[in-house]
Amino acid sequence: MMMLPVSAEQVAAAIDARSRSGVALVAIDGMGGSGKTTLAMTLVELRGAAVVHGDDFYRPMDAKERAHLDPEEGYHRYFDWQRLREEVLLPLTTGRDAVYRRYDWITGDLAPGELHRVSASSIVVVEGVYTARPELADYYDLLVYVDTPRKKSLRRLRERGDDHGPIDWESRWRLAEEHYLAATRPEKRAHLVVTGH
């Protein structure tokens, strides 16, 4: 595994090296606000990649139940990794197109009547916190971790108003995210580490 910080161009070159006839499945993980989406969109420009957003796989849950989860429980329950595996990763790794519904942050449920299709004949980037968790890691051809200092990523989230929840977001979501990072060490399991800007 490479642990040297690399650029988007180097990630694109690594995708080329690992793709099978232009087909590759890539995970981009890192803290919220680290620059994962920015890297994914750069790969769209550089390689015509399709992007699946991890935020589309937030788990619908009763607000009271969500409020009572501790950081470890949040790590296990906020992100519906089973749905990502069944609807996206399994189909793509077996040569079938993926079809999924996204989580609607306004209604708190899966968006009704809205299907997203991802072709199995392209480079697909799955970006988001938890997307390279151990249960999913073997489905990817390339694991990328975006490494950004905590203070910088928090500042970005606050600046864009993207905290995905109520006032106590940092005491719940962020602590669950930090539990995940400490427990599973995605930066150590990644093939490439990109320094967030």
**pTM for the model:** 0.88
Residue with tokens 């750069």: 42
Q: Which residue has the higher pLDDT, 163 or 74?
A: 74
Strands 5-6 and 192-195 turn out to be parallel
Cα 75 from Cα 95, distance rounded (Å): 30
- pLDDT tens-digit profile of 124-152? 999 999 999 999 999 999 999 998 777 76
Strand-pairing partners, residue 16, are none
Q: Is 22 helix (H, G, I), strand (E, B) or coil?
A: coil
- pLDDT tens-digit profile of 176-195? 889 999 999 999 999 999 88
Residue with tokens 């905590």: 150
Backbone angle region of 93, left / alpha / beta, with phi > 0 → left and psi within -120 to 50 → alpha: alpha
Total residue length of the chain = 197
Cα 56 from Cα 13, distance rounded (Å): 27
State both tokens at 66.
Answer: 């969500």
- pLDDT tens-digit profile of 63-120? 888 888 999 999 999 999 999 999 999 999 999 999 999 999 889 999 998 999 999 9
CA dihedral 26, 50, 19, 134 (to 10 degrees): 20
How many Cα atoms occupy the beta-carbon half-sphere of 18 within 13 Å? Answer: 19
